[in-house]
């Protein structure tokens, strides 16, 4: 006779065609990354379907918001990864975003290079500038590193006005080829949405793979105590240079996407203190070293921002920042800490030790 019971967080079906089946019921043992990724993939379609059937209009603004959440994810994923590998918090990530945006726009508009080429160029320029600036991760720390990285976007901001003939100041560089132009607004929006999602996913998977490898362990050692790590042979300066260079290139890719998404690129729109605050708050509220948490935090914050802005205007934005400040205190380990309370330092790889079987 078939017997069904739940025991120790498991659903057990016994004696079903002479076999016994067990499934883990407790959510933390599920293959959660796969479930989360599928939910991430399906969510835009669900949002579109529900909104259209409920209100009878196409949620253009909402889909644009989701695109922005993906762009923010690209930035915060790179910033979080960079923070682990360098042990320093970069206050100028939007500098690299603008660098990528300008590179893509200038090369496309002035030289007619297609988006595939400008993608490579944007990553390369971001990485080269990152490599040039990377010694600051070795020679400076604390307030000096913060000030250095904080000043970089301001310099680019001023340059955008000083050479407005090249950078177009607040008007930006118009006429950049869009990645998709099918003539169907909704189709284009979905194509942009899934392209940005794909880029964010690729970045996330690369960082996740690295963090789960031996290099992730070495990065964690550098992050926790750089001097100690060096005493035990970890080449911390090399790790910091490589990480800073690569993540700078990845941040520039976010700028490349924006240029080819909006059909123009205006640095001053992105080189703002508000953009910096949004990136830093998202990255911090994601949870320390929480790569998956970056995407979750980006989505929560961007959607909350749009809801508050559309319902309460400037007051809503003020409320958003107050909410985020409160969350910093209430959730010191971020949104990811809610999910993985027991082991929130996700950035250390796990070494599985097989226990000896009792014969």
Partner 1 sequence: MTLLEVVELTKRFGGIIAVNNVSFKIEKGEIVGLIGPNGSGKTTLVNLISGYYKPDGRRIIFEERDITNLPPEKRAKLGISRTFQNPRVVESMTALLNVAYAILGTRGEKMSLAEAGAEAMYYLEIFDLLKKRDTLAKDLAIYELRLLELARALATEPKLLMIDEAMAGLNPAEADNVVRVIERIREEFDLTIIWIEHVLRVLMRSVERVLVMDEGRLIADGPPEEVTNKPEVIEAYIGAEEEV
State which residue, 81 or 344, has the beta carbon closest to partner 1.
344
State which residue, 14 or 224, has the beta carbon closest to partner 1.
224
**Dihedral in degrees, nearest 10, Cα atoms 42, 45, 48, 52:** -120
State which residue, 110 or 235, has the beta carbon closest to partner 1.
235
10 Å CB burial of residue 254 (0-12, 13-18, 19+) is buried
Q: Which of 2, 54, 57, 231 lies at the binding interface for partner 1 (CB under 8 A)?
A: 231
- 185-220 residues labelled b (16+ CB within 10 A) or e (exposed): eeebbbbbbbbbbebbbebbeebbebbbeebbbbbb
Using CB under 8 A as the binding rule, the residues of this chain from 81 to 140 that contact partner 1 are none
Closest distance to partner 1 from the beta carbon of 245 (Å): 19
Q: Which of 228, 277, 315, 318 lies at the binding interface for partner 1 (CB under 8 A)?
A: 228
Contact 336, 284 (CB under 8 A): no
State which residue, 126 or 216, has the beta carbon closest to partner 1.
216
State which residue, 145 or 347, has the beta carbon closest to partner 1.
347
Closest distance to partner 1 from the beta carbon of 224 (Å): 4
SS3 of 224-238: HCHHHHHHCCCCHHH
E-strand spans in the chain?
3-7, 10-16, 19-24, 173-174, 264-265
Number of residues that bind partner 1 (CB under 8 A): 25
State which residue, 217 or 304, has the beta carbon closest to partner 1.
217
Contact 211, 349 (CB under 8 A): yes
Closest distance to partner 1 from the beta carbon of 238 (Å): 9
State which residue, 40 or 207, has the beta carbon closest to partner 1.
207
Closest distance to partner 1 from the beta carbon of 220 (Å): 7
Closest distance to partner 1 from the beta carbon of 80 (Å): 16
Give me the DSSP letters along 37-99: HHHHHHHHHHHHHHHHHHHSS--HHHHHHHHHHHHHHHHHHHHHHHHHHHSS--S-HHHHHHH
Closest CA to 125 of 148, 151, 101, 153: 101
Closest distance to partner 1 from the beta carbon of 165 (Å): 47
Radius of gyration of the chain (CA): 23
Q: Which of 227, 357, 358, 359 lies at the binding interface for partner 1 (CB under 8 A)?
A: 227
Using CB under 8 A as the binding rule, the residues of this chain from 332 to 351 that contact partner 1 are 345, 348-349, 351
Using CB under 8 A as the binding rule, the residues of this chain from 10 to 29 that contact partner 1 are none
Between CA 126 and CA 134, with CA 128 as vertex, the angle to 5 degrees is 95
Using CB under 8 A as the binding rule, the residues of this chain from 193 to 222 that contact partner 1 are 213-214, 217-218, 220-221
Closest distance to partner 1 from the beta carbon of 33 (Å): 19
Contact 241, 133 (CB under 8 A): no
Closest distance to partner 1 from the beta carbon of 210 (Å): 12
Q: Which residues bind partner 1 (CB under 8 A)?
A: 213-214, 217-218, 220-221, 224-225, 227-237, 345, 348-349, 351-353
């Amino acid at each position: 006779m078939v017997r069904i019971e739940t025991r120790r967080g498991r659903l057990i079906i016994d004696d079903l065609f002479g076999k016994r089946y067990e499934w883990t019921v407790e959510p933390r043992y599920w293959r959660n990354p796969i479930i989360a990724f599928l939910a991430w993939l399906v969510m835009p379609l669900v949002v579109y379907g529900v909104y259209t059937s409920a209100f009878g209009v196409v949620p253009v603004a909402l889909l644009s918001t989701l695109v922005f959440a993906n762009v923010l994810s690209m930035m915060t994923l790179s910033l979080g990864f960079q923070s682990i590998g360098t042990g320093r918090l970069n206050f100028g990530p939007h500098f690299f975003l603008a660098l990528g945006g300008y590179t893509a726009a200038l090369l496309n508009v002035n030289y007619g290079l297609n988006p595939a080429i400008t993608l490579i160029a944007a990553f390369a320029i971001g990485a080269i500038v990152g490599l040039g600036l990377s010694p600051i991760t070795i020679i400076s720390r604390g307030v000096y590193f913060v000030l250095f990285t904080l000043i970089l976007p301001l310099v680019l901001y001023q340059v955008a006005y000083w050479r407005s003939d090249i950078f177009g100041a607040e008007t930006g560089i118009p006429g950049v080829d869009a990645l998709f132009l099918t003539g169907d607004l909704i189709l284009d929006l979905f194509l942009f949405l899934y392209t940005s999602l794909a880029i964010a996913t690729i970045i996330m998977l690369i960082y996740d793979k690295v963090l789960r490898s031996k290099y992730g362990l070495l990065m964690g050692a550098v992050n926790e105590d750089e001097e100690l790590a060096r005493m035990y042979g970890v080449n911390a300066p090399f790790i910091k240079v490589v990480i800073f260079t690569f993540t700078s290139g990845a941040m520039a890719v976010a700028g490349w996407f924006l240029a080819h998404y909006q059909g123009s690129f205006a640095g001053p729109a992105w080189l703002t203190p508000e953009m910096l605050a949004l990136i830093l708050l998202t990255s911090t509220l994601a949870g320390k070293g929480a790569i998956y948490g970056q995407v979750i935090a980006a989505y929560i914050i961007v959607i909350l921002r749009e809801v508050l802005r559309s319902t309460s205007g400037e007051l809503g934005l003020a409320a958003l920042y107050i909410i985020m400040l409160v969350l910093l205190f209430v959730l010191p380990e971020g949104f990811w800490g809610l999910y993985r309370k027991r082991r929130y330092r996700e950035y250390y790889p796990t070494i599985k030790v097989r226990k000896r079987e009792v014969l």
